[in-house]
């Protein structure tokens, strides 16, 4: 299924490590784009909770977060899951402007979603500065290989022609999900984080106990839904 991504390397962790937390936490805005029904919401939940949920069509945009620990830094992914329905198309640019990573997703069993992905790519190109956004073409629903309408070679060819990264995934089985997220983390940190002011720093907001006036800041979960 698509490009084989490397297994999670020793320099990246998808789970909590409270004994050796990196000093800095940087914010990464990642947007998921694609037609309705390609599995964007299911991919987002896989990224965050490593579980499968059959989701209803997203209205407007959904927002989730996920921490990824690299060797010397933590990246706080702020994942924007956009609606794929045509009626929301005009407002989608509001969500993906300023994204450090963009995933353009199609369903390998539905050719029209692959055609539509090319329209999303053109729209995305109008709103980002080259070098500021790591863009990944993702063929989802790899578990439907017997119903495939878009070959791996077609996906790879489109990605190569547009200068994108490419892989195929399955939100249902979880295949290539963790590997994809780690690969994106490394690419974003290497390509965008290396630039001056490329990735903003994030600091956890202390919580205030209104009854006792105490301030405390517990460790953030690595799999957290919400801001």
The pLDDT tens digits for 52-90 are: 877 655 445 678 999 999 988 999 999 998 765 454 455
19 or 46, which is more confident? 46
Pairing of strands 223-224, 61-69: antiparallel
Question: Is residue 5 in some structural domain?
Answer: no
Query: Is residue 9 in some structural domain?
Result: no
pLDDT of residue 221: 31
Tell me if 185 is assigned to some domain.
Answer: yes
**Does 17 fall in a domain?**
no
Q: Is residue 158 part of a domain?
A: yes
Q: What is the pLDDT of residues 112-144, one digit of tens each?
A: 999 999 998 988 887 776 678 899 999 999 999
Q: How far apart are CA 223 and CA 66, in angstroms?
A: 5
Residue 198 within a domain:
yes
Q: Is 54 helix (H, G, I), strand (E, B) or coil?
A: coil
CATH number, domain containing residue 31: 3.40.50.300
Quote the pTM value.
0.77
What's the gap between Cα 167 and its chain centre? 13
- Mean pLDDT score of the chain: 79
At 107, the pLDDT band (50, 70, 90 cuts) reads: very high
Range of the domain at 77: 25-224
Residue 161 lies in a domain: yes
Residue 12 belongs to some domain of the structure:
no
Total structural domains within the chain: 1
CB 34 within 8 A of CB 105: yes
pLDDT at 141: 97
DSSP string, 124-158: HHTT--TTS-EEEEEEE-GGGGGG--S-HHHHHHH
């Amino acid at each position: 299924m698509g490009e084989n991504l490397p297994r999670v390397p020793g320099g990246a962790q998808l789970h909590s490590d409270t004994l050796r937390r990196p000093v800095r936490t940087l914010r990464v805005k990642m947007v998921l784009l694609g037609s309705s029904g390609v599995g964007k919401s299911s991919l987002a939940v896989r990224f965050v909770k490593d579980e499968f949920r059959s989701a209803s069509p997203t209205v407007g945009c959904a927002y989730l977060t996920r921490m990824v620990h690299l060797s010397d830094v933590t990246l706080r992914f702020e994942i924007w899951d956009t609606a794929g329905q045509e009626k929301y198309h005009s407002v989608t640019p509001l969500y993906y402007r300023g994204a450090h990573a963009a995933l353009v997703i199609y369903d390998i069993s539905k050719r029209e979603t692959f055609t539509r992905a090319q329209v999303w790519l053109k729209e995305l190109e109008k709103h980002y500065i080259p070098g500021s956004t790591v863009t990944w073409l993702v063929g989802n629903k790899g578990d439907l290989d017997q119903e495939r309408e878009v070959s791996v070679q077609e996906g790879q060819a489109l990605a190569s022609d547009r200068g994108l990264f490419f892989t195929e995934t399955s939100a249902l089985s979880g295949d290539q999900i963790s590997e994809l997220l780690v690969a994106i983390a490394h690419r974003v940190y290497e390509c965008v984080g290396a630039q001056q002011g490329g990735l903003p720093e994030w600091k956890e907001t202390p919580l205030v106990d209104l009854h006792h006036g105490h301030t405390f800041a517990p460790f953030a979960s690595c799999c957290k839904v919400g801001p």
